Amino acid sequence: MNLAEAKEYAKKNVHVRPSVPGRLGGKIAVVTGGAQGFGYGIAEELYREGASVVLADINEELARESAATLGERAVGIKVDVGSPESVEELVIRTVEKFGGIDVFVANAGVAKAGSLEELTPAQFDFVTKVNYHGYFNCVKSASDIMKAQHEADPDAWYDIIQVNSKSGLVGSKNNFAYAGSKFGGIGLTQSFALELVDYQIKVNAICPGNFYDGPLWSDPEKGLFVQYLNAGKVPGAKTVEDVKNFYLSKSPIRRGCTPVDVAKAVFYCVEQTYETGQAIPVSGGQTMLN
């Protein structure tokens, strides 16, 4: 199946959705970076509320294993969001498997901390390719399917949701590659929202606080706790625990963000029909909008 065939197939199947109880009963959802961490946690909540879910990840083996833990309405598919061809193949395979796409959660992301003196152009380009270009690639391919579905059912709404970051709302010392890509992601979200609303596609961003238990922060070799300690991001910190305590103290609620917290914001984005182009903080009060 090519993209044109996938669009026609999605149009034919737009009224064919499984009868499953739940807040997202019968919807077809894709979560990039879905094999672990935030992505898996979000996918788990979507599945629990009745969605059929594609766990899309560059680690295909882990994506399949994670999908198997959810059940028969979940599947793992390999994707490199930095590759337009890979993302297009993802949406085609999703349509082949489930018949369409109703919700696309662009969650895949990377971080590389470091000062201007330390970070190389190659490292900066890598973060930008995944977090910024990758989001564009996802919206471009997912919206092709959603536009086709809109032709067949002009009354239905569809959702593209970027899992952004509180670092997309405020700058981040010694973490400019990540923060810059996330600021850019919010600009893309607002612009895509204006362009796609005519097709009843809502585009929103969720800006979580820190998920301390996930690999992005806690990986013992590449996690942000280690990166921030080595980069001197936290003055006076001598251990990873010092860095973690510093960040815990920044939130009035004094805990890290969880996938369930983010999933609740995803449900809000999908269920409401009067909001698009927004950046929704889920940061425990660490980042407050003016």
Active site residues: 178
Residue position matching structure tokens 């009868």: 19
Which two tokens mark 66?
Answer: 């994670």
Nearest CA among 215, 106, 80, 89 for reference residue 145: 89
Answer whether 26's CB lies under 8 Å from 19's CB: yes
Distance CA 104, CA 162 (A): 8
Q: Which string of DSSP letters, residue by residue, matches the chain?
A: --HHHHHHHHHHTTT------STTTT-EEEEETTTSHHHHHHHHHHHHTT-EEEEEES-HHHHHHHHHHH-TTEEEEE--TT-HHHHHHHHHHHHHHHS--SEEEE---------TTT--HHHHHHHHIIIIIHHHHHHHHHHHHHHHHHHH-TT--EEEEEE--GGGTS--TT-HHHHHHHHHHHHHHHHHHHHHGGGTEEEEEEEE---TTSHHHH-TTTSHHHHHHHHT-STT--SHHHHHHHHHTTSTT-S---HHHHHHHHHHHHH-SS--S-EEEESTTSS---
